Structure 1
């Protein structure tokens, strides 16, 4: 009988393992993070940012409220991080920017992963002209600098946060398309895939139920590595004034506003820059923690034999 374990023993190419019992998510998370310092620290930083974005705003003043008698105020009890040039509370605006940045980073990569995996799967399954056309489209997208492409798209398709997610996703999808295609080209001739094809499985079911699950670990690691790029792109758009429309706060917009008064209140630029750095570091640590250890043995110099 054909089983998923009959597939070639290649990294990230096995079919999903089916067990008779369901592992609770908490136990599964504990098992994954045990002894994985990079993943633990990355999750801790990410949870801290989530608390800043979700739990803190109800306790603060409205981010768009202007205190005209507290313009460019130094940190106080009422305003722990001070106020900007319009008297708006910096901590409140930083928390609002955290929601935008987290949504832009992880939301855009979710869209890019779905789009790229679909394109790569179709290219690998259809082959021929479809494969060449879709991969040339991916190459053309990768040929443009990411920042230049996202600025052009955002300028042409100016809109709200949803359009921002779409623009970043349209910039980063080729990474997932190429990775999914490479993985599917390896697994499409596996015995469990041939068995599913022989039973009459539809191409869409074959792709989403048998081929793409084998590429899921590699795609998730690639997504974690791509999140810092999405953070940089979102912050760059905010700095250039192409991000979310005012008065919505973004970290890039906060950096731009602080840059205008850096000689008067240099501390205003520290908080948003530090926030971008922490989110980028958290994503990098998550990617490092999710990356499977190398199975190759280090090359050692041959020992000298005594004469």
Structure 2
């Protein structure tokens, strides 16, 4: 009888009632993407112990050497171990993505919450500024900001973070607009709950799922932007190494050693793909059972 009751209960369950974790674990591709990203983050954190050599140590007798036991991914134009530089570059590339997305979220989420919840003139003013910012080509806006602040990986990611602000505002505003007239919000307003508390306890939990998905996708875009700016010499500066700066230096010797360009290019492509797949998985896993206070 007990097994029959369990079977009936499982048969009556809907995808929305089974929980986010269960829904996410049922998706193979996002699980593989998450596993890869966890390994990547762990490798970046442990870059020092995992590196077979110092990333800046030069050996001019082994310039652009092919992969070997001593140098699994070969050496670059100055005889530096490519694997060591790839591991340390992962730290910089991941940190760059985190800086840019954090700036976009910290500034964009509160503005989007206020615009979506308040509506009226506040919403129109915020959307006017947002649409104006989104009217500029992203890479040109980033180049302009970096030119004003000076070339560095931090300034490059501040520029990319500024690009993310209007996109975060739009996503947050849209989610807030969808629930601003819900009954539980009207009940909270009717009993005199302060607006700040309503935003924190009722609106914010409801807008977090789309914002989290958007943040996952933005990390991938931030890494591509960092690679583009570093390729142009506006991102990571020597002796710092990012995947983008490694691509830039390798492009000058593509005919002599194409592997130097393949490794960072492959790392960027696979990581961005994993982030996009993870974002799709998160989007499909968030259910409608959002907390209502």
Q: TM-score range by the shorter chain?
A: 0.7 to 0.9
Between stretches 73-82 and 230-239, larger displacement belongs to: 73-82
- In the TM superposition, 1:31-180 aligns within 5 A as 31-60=22-51, 61-158=53-150, 160-180=152-172
Q: TM-score, normalised by structure 2?
A: 0.84
Conserved in 2, the CA contact under 8 Å of 1:38 and 1:288? Answer: no
Aligned to 2:40, the other structure's residue is in SS state helix
Conserved in 2, the CA contact under 8 Å of 1:41 and 1:285? Answer: no
Match of 1:13 in 2: none
RMSD, aligned CA: 2.3
1:68-123 CA-partner distances (Å, limit 9, x unpaired): 22222222222111111112111111111111111222342232123221111122
1:234-273 CA-partner distances (Å, limit 9, x unpaired): 1101111111222110111101111111111111111000
1:178-197 CA-partner distances (Å, limit 9, x unpaired): 12112212212222222322
Q: Residue 201 of structure 1: which of 188, 193, 218 is its match?
A: 193
Aligned to 1:192, the other structure's residue is in SS state helix
Match of 1:279 in 2: 271
Q: 2: distance between equivalents of 1:186 and 1:291?
A: 17
Match of 2:281 in 1: 289
What are the ranges of 5 or more consecutive residues in structure 1 without an aligned counterpart? 1-16, 18-27, 296-307
The structure in which a higher percent of residues are helix is 2
Q: Residue 265 of structure 1: which of 254, 257, 268 is its match?
A: 257
Conserved in 2, the CA contact under 8 Å of 1:42 and 1:282? Answer: yes
Conserved in 1, the CA contact under 8 Å of 2:152 and 2:234? Answer: no
Match of 1:233 in 2: 225
Q: 2: distance between equivalents of 1:80 and 1:123?
A: 53
Match of 1:21 in 2: none
Conserved in 1, the CA contact under 8 Å of 2:43 and 2:50? Answer: no
Say if 1:197 and 1:30 are closer, same or farther in 2 by CA, change over 3 A: closer
Q: 2: distance between equivalents of 1:294 and 1:69?
A: 55
Aligned residues: 269
